[in-house]
Amino acid sequence: MRTTLVIELLAVPGAVRGVRRALRRHLGDAGGAAQLCVSELLSNVILHVGEGAPVTVRVCGEGDGRTRIEVTDPDPYGMPVRRSAARDEEGGRGTALLEAVSLGWGVWPAAGCKTVWCEVAVAERAAGEQSPGGEKSSPCHLPHRGDTGLPV
Mean pLDDT of the chain: 80
| Predicted TM-score of the model (pTM) | 0.79
pLDDT given at position 141: 56
Instruction: Return the pLDDT at 57.
Output: 97
Q: What angle do CA 21, 112, 46 make, to 5 degrees?
A: 40
DSSP string, 35-83: HHHHHHHHHHIIIII-TT-EEEEEEEE-SSSEEEEEEEES-SS------
CATH 3.30.565.10 fits 4-121, yes or no: yes
- The pLDDT score that the predictor gives to residue 110 is 93
Residue 126 has a pLDDT of: 44
